[in-house]
Amino acid sequence: MESLSYLFRLSTAGLFLDPNAFRAQRDNPATLRDGFLVVALVGIVVGAASVIGNLLSTLASPDLLAVLDVVQRGIERTPLFAELQRVNPALDLEPFFTQLAQIVVPLRWSGLIGAIATPFVYLLSWLIYGFVAHLAARSLGGEGTFAQTLGCTALASGANWLAVVQIVPFAQVAGTTVLGLIGCYLGLRAAHNLPAWRAFWAALIGPIVLVVLLMLFSCGALAVLVATAQGR
């Protein structure tokens, strides 16, 4: 219980952007282990909150299959549909709505699956960001080790505590993103003893590189799709 409260204090120090906590984490002999546990703890709690939120939302929402059935019956009763069916007696909405139902039913649980995967997504994002940010910090004259980089940037995951209260989704996303980047800036500055502007760029290079890679991947995928469509 004491170790759990210690991890909670570490994560909230990251949420409140306490520079002393980042410096202490840099000098912590178990910085990598504690960083991993902090990210995992935040991910598990946020994931559990998301699971509860999704379950409550699913219970409170109308049955999607029943909604589709009502829509289908409503369309079939319109004069326009009756006229179209008179022109084309083979016109039938049943196959279309059956296919639509097969798509809608799995989507109903996609939020729940995403919530369960939250801890793994947090950990993977932390490792990828930490790797890129460490290379950027070292190239800008940083002195910290890879373990110190990961240990300090792990505290920035404390910003995700805002996601536990999922009342205003867009404000939550903006808040966690901004606080997370500020936390990474403080973590990199503490881990590598970097001046302010170099730590700033080290913190931003990671997201910029990831966005560029995502854009290149999207453009490549679009080009392949266009080429495939033209080949047909």
Q: What is the pLDDT of residues 178-225, one digit of tens each?
A: 767 777 777 888 888 888 778 887 887 877 777 777 777 777 766 666
The number of beta carbons lying within 10 Å of the beta carbon of residue 99 is 10
Mean pLDDT value across residues 150-177 = 67
Structure confidence at residue 170 (pLDDT): 42
**pTM to 2 decimal places:** 0.63
| d(C-alpha 64, C-alpha 24), whole Å | 51
What six digits make up the tokens of 158? Answer: 């404390």
| d(C-alpha 141, C-alpha 138), whole Å | 5
Mean pLDDT value across residues 96-101 = 69
- Assign 123 a pLDDT band (cuts: 50, 70, 90): very high
| d(C-alpha 199, C-alpha 159), whole Å | 19
| d(C-alpha 75, C-alpha 64), whole Å | 17
| d(C-alpha 46, C-alpha 54), whole Å | 12
* pLDDT tens figures, 31-79: 899 889 989 988 888 888 777 776 666 666 666 666 667 777 777 777 7
* Sign of the CA dihedral running 136, 138, 143, 146: positive
* Spatial CA neighbour of 187 closest among 201, 175, 174, 203: 203
* Mean pLDDT for all residues in the chain: 76
* Spatial CA neighbour of 8 closest among 31, 33, 42: 42
Residue 21: pLDDT above 50? yes
| d(C-alpha 189, C-alpha 26), whole Å | 10
CA atoms within 13 A on the CB side of 20: 1
CB 190 within 8 A of CB 183: no
